[in-house]
Homo-oligomer: A and B are copies of this chain.
Amino acid sequence: MSIAEAGEFGLIGRIVPRLGIGETTEIGPGDDAAVVSTPDGRVVASTDVLVEGRHFRRDWCSAEDVGHRAAAANLADIAAMGAVPTALLLALCVPTGLDIAWAEGLADGLAAEAGLVGATVVGGDTSASPTLTIAVTALGDLRGVAPVRRDGARPGDILALAGRIGHAAAGLTVLSRGFRTPKLLVEAYRRPAVPYAAGPEAARLGATSMIDVSDGLLQDAGHIATASSVAIDVHRDAFDLPDQMRDAAKALGVDPYQWLLAGGDDHPLAATFPPGAALPPHWRPIGTVRSGDGVTVDGKPWTGGSGWDHFR
């Protein structure tokens, strides 16, 4: 059945039962607004939007995949402040001819990804539009920790990374060249594996700054460098190059470090820690903070592209 046939309230009636009710949800979907408890006394909030043809293609990702990706992009922003996500809100703009099953799949993906951190979709809005567009807002709770901003890195700090990097960018290149394998890379693009718990953990470990890597490590490290008025040097040897990535890069004629250093969509967390901080192994040191400005790789400017501009 198309969404035009179902109508606005038919669509909402099909989506809402798939969303569940979270522990912090006092009022969920169905009223003018949701009410979510904020035990910390502060709420962390972030919005990200995905536009068909720009952030996803329906022939490359299932509806569930797009739901996972839309939720992950937002939940990672909450984690990158040191907070625990609690709720999502969804603004869904759909072509009226779209099958309602696609919207149901999207809701399932959103709910499943949010469920990984105990969050739920608490509200939203829908409209017809020529362009399939998914805007998600995530809310989170700091649970008593101070939010970790971008502006606290100091010379001498260690830059560390938690989570997979370069995989999604490699998967995107693979898909854009018409291939469907290696599965590791394509699946990484379709379903990010975000280290959500590493965000609050970094806050407790004394991180001086943190960011979610959504547009490429060098670009996002650059945001920390600019906000903190420091220079950051990234160490190329710190990155593992999985066999499948190395092989795909060779077959496609791509420098795999372009994926690792400038690729987005995996949403690992990058944070700076004071020298000597005792980091668990999943926080891998990948660079150092110095005085100065800008981001270098092994002391030199990176000559590949540095990341994603959503208007170019």
Spell out A's residues near B (CB within 8 Å).
3-4, 6-9, 11, 26-27, 30-39, 41-51, 53-55, 76-78, 80-81, 83, 87, 89-93, 96, 122-131, 133, 135, 137-140, 142, 147, 149-150, 210-212, 227, 309-312
Minimum Cβ distance to chain B for residue A110 (Å): 13
Q: Which residues of B contact A126 (CB under 8 A)?
A: 49, 310-311
**Complex CA–CA separation, A193 to B54 (angstroms):** 37
**Complex CA–CA separation, A116 to B123 (angstroms):** 25
**Max chain B Cβ within 10 angstroms of own Cβ: one of A124, A150, A310, A311:** A311
Q: Is the CB of B45 within 8 A of A127?
A: no
Q: Is the CB of B54 within 8 A of A129?
A: yes
**Max chain B Cβ within 10 angstroms of own Cβ: one of A30, A33, A51, A123:** A33
* A-B CB contact pairs (8 Å), 21 listed: A7-B312, A8-B310, A8-B312, A31-B81, A31-B147, A32-B76, A32-B210, A32-B212, A33-B83, A43-B43, A47-B89, A47-B124, A49-B91, A51-B93, A51-B127, A51-B128, A89-B137, A91-B137, A96-B311, A128-B310, A129-B133
Q: Which residues of B contact A55 (CB under 8 A)?
A: 127
**Complex CA–CA separation, A200 to B127 (angstroms):** 28
Q: Is the CB of A38 within 8 A of B35?
A: no
Q: Is the CB of B137 within 8 A of A49?
A: no
Q: Which residues of B contact A310 (CB under 8 A)?
A: 8, 126-128
**Complex CA–CA separation, A31 to B226 (angstroms):** 12
Q: Which residues of B contact A130 (CB under 8 A)?
A: 53, 130-131
Q: Is the CB of B3 within 8 A of A311?
A: yes
Complex partner residue of A89 from B3, B41, B45, B76, CB under 8 angstroms? B45
Q: Is the CB of B142 within 8 A of A49?
A: no
**Max chain B Cβ within 10 angstroms of own Cβ: one of A39, A123, A125, A138:** A125
Minimum Cβ distance to chain B for residue A36 (Å): 5
Q: Is the CB of A93 within 8 A of B49?
A: yes
Q: Is the CB of A42 within 8 A of B38?
A: yes
Q: Is the CB of A47 within 8 A of B312?
A: no
